[in-house]
Amino acid sequence: MIFVDANYFLRAMVQPQTTKDRVMGHQAAELFNSVQQGERKITTSEATVAEVVFILTSRRHYGLSRADGVSRLKPILALRHCRMPAKAVSLRALDLFASSVKI
């Protein structure tokens, strides 16, 4: 089982800016495709999920809306061969975050 950190999620979800970013994005996409096909298993943590959502929705980074950030991350987390502690709770928390109003 492979532990996936925030960089892999982000590389697979955002538009690459440099050649190096494109290479890393391709590698991340290949990993997640192999997980989707059941060829590999991955795990991550709640802290990683929080970091990814923060970076995606931060004005200083990618500035995505909450709903857009969650819609990019949730399909990967929902994959059968993506494991994490309290996965159902984390997926529900993402739904709540996406539907809440930023204050």
Percent of the chain with pLDDT over 70: 98
Rg (CA), the chain: 13
Banded pLDDT at 103 (limits 50, 70, 90): low
Q: What is the mean pLDDT of the chain?
A: 93
Residues in the chain: 103
In this prediction the pTM is 0.88
Residue 64: pLDDT over 80: yes
Domain boundary assignment for the chain: 2-99
Work out the angle at residue 49's Cα, subtended by the Cα atoms of residues 38 and 8, and round it to the nearest 5 degrees.
Answer: 55
Quick: pLDDT tens for 34-53: 999 999 999 999 999 999 99
pLDDT of res. 100: 85
Report d(CA 27, CA 22) in Å as an integer. Answer: 9
